[in-house]
Amino acid sequence: MNEILKKSAAEQSKALKNKEISAVELTNAAFERIAELDEKLGAFNSLTKETALETAKKVDEKIAKSEELPLLAGVPLALKDNMNLVGSKTTASSKILENFVSPFNATVTEKLLNNLVPIVGKANLDEFAMGSSNENSAFKKVHNPWDLKKVPGGSSGGSAASVSSCEATLALGSDTGGSIRLPASFCGIVGMKPTYGRVSRYGLIAFASSLDQIGPFARTVEDAANLLEVISGHDPKDSTSLDLPVEHYAAHLNDDIKGMKVGVIKELMTEGLSDDVAAAMQRAIEDYKKLGAEIVEISLPNLKHSIGIYYILATAECSSNLARFDGVKYGYRTPDAKNLMEMYTKTRAEGFGPEVKRRIMLGTYALSSGYYDAYYKKAQQMRALVTQDFVEAFKKVDILISPTCPNTAFELGAKSSDPLAMYLTDIATISANLAGIPGMSVPAGFDKDGMPIGLQILAPQLKESRLFNAAHKFERANDYYLQLAKI
């Protein structure tokens, strides 16, 4: 592997500015790495070589003229394949969109291109971002770079695996119930979900619109902070986008956290935790004490209901959002329908995979006449209670910590036949989406088999700078982030 690919985005940016390597050389090195690895990894659905090299050339032209470079210019990035990039396939890893070529750019894609970030390809995911293991892709499974027999986490498994294996230096994922933080934990990298509305969702294929949020993957907290700065900001094309100025998130990374109150979530530290994850959490608590933080135990009494709430609200919104894929306007249409109703039913039966069908049926049931009040309305009321728990908690502490997942990456196929066991993988991450608060997973050690463990850090709405500060101080107190998958 070209050594430059192991470097952080900050180090690659410096090498570009110092003319130690050109942007075209760096981008080509990423494509060589993908060619070498991706057959066994399965991280990419498609590559966008032409677009990436075109962007890299613009970076080199700017360097040649000694012009100021935008943030992260020239650093190779993987884009989750549910975000639109003009002229490239945007499939959401579903047969129904297998040949859909995007006619427009997502807002985040536009921002990346304006910042001259080369997009090397579209990363594999669980179909329509529904899953926790990246085994639900219609095309191929993604494998964990630390152990190819294990899952990378989902739904943004391709994005996480590409960064973890140095195929890309950065990546974007989407997080509806933990789909950035869980793969980051399983793949030993940094993954961050911003405050709901901080990043535009325009051009992201919707799963559950009140929960979806786009966020960064990187190998260091600093790189994640810079990538969030690039993609954040108000967007008139997204009615949920917040009209607030974008912060320079990396500015406060090194602020002293002496006296910071760190809340440990009681409900996520008890049952179901593997011994290795429990030990890593105790080490993390000790690290924060050494950094001068004050540790406080915090109870979130309604947290236990969050999985039930999520799988009513998310499936209801998915049932509504995916109604548009009916063979009329987008993607696949069954070739042998005799009438309109048959065209609808056969198209959807042939085009959607089993997990997507399961969630559509759950959501349609929850929204159906006679059940709406019992399920959907009740879940919305319970969501307000979960949110209120966080409001109360953040009156007492500055940040909250927990394991990102009760366990490390499991074997491919281990939970495929038990949807409930798979859903419980998200027990620690879902509540942040329900409450719309920012959350992050950072590397926090390894289990006895050498698989990565993630520490989840949560902050109040719009306190991303505080989150990055607390995460960076923890990251630099250890060397976990320096260890790369041996693939």
Give the start-to-end residue ranges of the domains of the chain: 3-256+471-482, 304-373
- Return the closest-CA partner of residue 130 out of 426, 345, 405: 426
> Is 179 known to be catalytic?
yes
Contact 124, 131 (CB under 8 A): no
Q: Which CATH class is domain 3-256+471-482?
A: alpha beta
Catalytic hit among 132, 133, 179, 241: 179
Q: Show the low-confidence residues of the chain (pLDDT under 50).
A: none
The whole-number pLDDT of residue 143 equals 98
Encode pLDDT of 37-71 as tens digits: 999 999 999 999 999 999 999 999 999 999 999 99
Catalytic hit among 155, 156, 319, 402: 155
The whole-number pLDDT of residue 370 equals 85
The whole-number pLDDT of residue 421 equals 81
Encode pLDDT of 225-263 as tens digits: 999 999 999 999 999 999 999 999 999 999 999 999 999
Catalytic hit among 62, 80, 193, 463: 80
CA 105 – CA 118 distance, rounded (Å): 14
Radius of gyration of the chain (CA): 21
> Which DSSP symbol is given to 221?
H
What's the predicted TM-score (pTM) here?
0.97
φ, ψ of residue 84 in degrees (nearest 5): -80, 135
Contact 50, 119 (CB under 8 A): no
- Return the closest-CA partner of residue 475 out of 222, 302, 273, 216: 222
The whole-number pLDDT of residue 417 equals 81
> Is 155 known to be catalytic?
yes
φ, ψ of residue 245 in degrees (nearest 5): -65, 150
Residue 392 amino acid letter: E
What 3-state class would DSSP assign to 127? helix
Q: Is 303 exposed, middle or buried (0-12, 13-18, 19+ CB in 10 A)?
A: buried
The whole-number pLDDT of residue 62 equals 97
